[in-house]
């Protein structure tokens, strides 16, 4: 596969969540990725691995890391690899004999990328957890709201993928870049809790300036502002309103046919309840797509809230090919795009253990 990472060899220890997503992006960017699965198939907890587009773009080999012969075969691959993506709990690979100390001694150029929830050390390093748990201790889940009632569950995108796989990728690419100068790899310790906290730096900054309250639904970006939230329309579907800047807000009011002189000032929180009531009443008079058509071509920052089924038909996503269909499945195209080197991202998912490990060894010799 062509791409800016062509020639980079990656071994991925099979699992679910942010590790496979990071490996997908590396493969999309041209790396030669080999996924090591347990014999008998992948970890099919949520999806069929043979049809999972997250597993696209790489080969899959079967190996029991507790078997001496299989372990030797995997070690032979790792001796020639540039990157290892390890999504196990800290200490698991050490017990298996492929921990960072062993591997970096055998292959000093190896970038050992650890993807964990709590981090490689600390009192919770060995605890089980999932996206929601990692978000809960960082303050982010509480901030997502709503104002009254339990916090919303924001899929698993903020933690697993925003704070997890994407930070792992930043670490891997940085380590590969540094290796060009030093000739040596290093261990990347990517913890979801660290990434989520880092993602929330803006909020930490606002809070430090006294511009953010620990009360969900009361702040500028958490739905508290009536010009940065969602509204129900006449057909029980919704629009998203993001008219933060005064110039955009003026276009919002114009589209709603509201006189600004009869309304509270945009950034006066005392007037936000009145503004919210007014906007709620007006948006409820038309269907979602009517509002989308009315605001199309303006900078009012009013957009329809689409379902996954509707998203491929949006003209902007369609024009860019952001979503593609392969083998009867809609999946995300590769991102980001580069001007000189093509990226992949549409190869079918491999069948678990479908490539003999000695074939990969020959390719990498």
C-alpha atoms less than 13 angstroms from C-alpha of 213 in its C-beta half-sphere: 12
160 is catalytic: yes
Of the listed 130, 214, 296, 327, which one is catalytic? 130
CB 249 within 8 A of CB 225: no
Check if 121 is active-site: no
Options 28, 82, 131, 160, the catalytic residue: 160
Sequence-separated (6 or more) residues with CB below 8 Å from residue 115: 17, 18, 19, 22, 85, 86, 87, 164, 165, 168, 190
Q: How many residues does the chain have?
A: 365
* Distance separating alpha carbons of residues 35 and 194, to the nearest angstrom: 26
> Which residues are the active-site residues?
130, 160
């Amino acid at each position: 596969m062509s791409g800016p990472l062509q020639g980079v060899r990656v071994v991925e220890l099979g699992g679910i969540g942010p590790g496979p997503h990071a490996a997908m992006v590396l493969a999309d960017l041209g790396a030669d990725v080999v996924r090591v699965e347990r014999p008998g198939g992948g970890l099919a907890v949520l999806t069929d691995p043979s049809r999972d587009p997250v597993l696209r773009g790489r080969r899959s080999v079967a190996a029991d890391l507790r078997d001496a012969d299989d372990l030797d075969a995997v070690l032979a691959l790792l001796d020639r690899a540039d990157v290892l993506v390890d999504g196990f709990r800290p200490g698991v690979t050490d017990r298996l004999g492929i921990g960072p100390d062993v591997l970096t001694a055998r292959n000093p150029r190896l970038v050992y990328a650890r993807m964990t929830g709590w981090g490689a050390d600390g009192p919770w390093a060995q605890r089980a957890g999932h996206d929601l748990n990692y978000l809960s201790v960082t303050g982010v889940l509480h901030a997502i709201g709503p104002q009254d009632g339990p916090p919303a569950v924001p899929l698993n995108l903020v933690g697993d993928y925003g704070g997890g796989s994407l930070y792992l990728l930043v670490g891997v690419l940085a380590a590969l870049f540094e290796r060009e100068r030093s000739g040596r790899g290093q261990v990347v310790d990517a913890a979801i809790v660290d990434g989520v906290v880092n993602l929330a730096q803006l909020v930490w900054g606002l809070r430090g300036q006294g511009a953010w309250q620990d009360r969900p639904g009361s702040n500028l970006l958490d739905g508290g502002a009536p010009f940065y939230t969602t509204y129900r329309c006449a057909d029980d579907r919704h629009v998203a309103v993001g008219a933060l800047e005064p110039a955009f807000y003026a276009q919002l009011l114009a589209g709603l046919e509201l006189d600004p002189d009869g309304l509270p000032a945009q950034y006066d929180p005392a007037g936000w309840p009145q503004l919210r009531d007014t906007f709620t009443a007006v948006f409820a008079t038309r269907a979602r797509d009517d509002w989308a058509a009315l605001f199309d071509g303006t900078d009012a920052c009013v957009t329809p809230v689409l379902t996954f089924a509707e998203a491929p038909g949006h003209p902007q996503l369609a024009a860019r090919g952001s979503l593609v269909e392969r083998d009867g499945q809609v999946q995300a195209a590769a991102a980001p795009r580069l001007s000189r080197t093509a990226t992949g991202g549409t190869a079918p998912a491999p069948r678990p253990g479908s490539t003999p490990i000695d074939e990969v060894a020959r390719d990498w010799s």
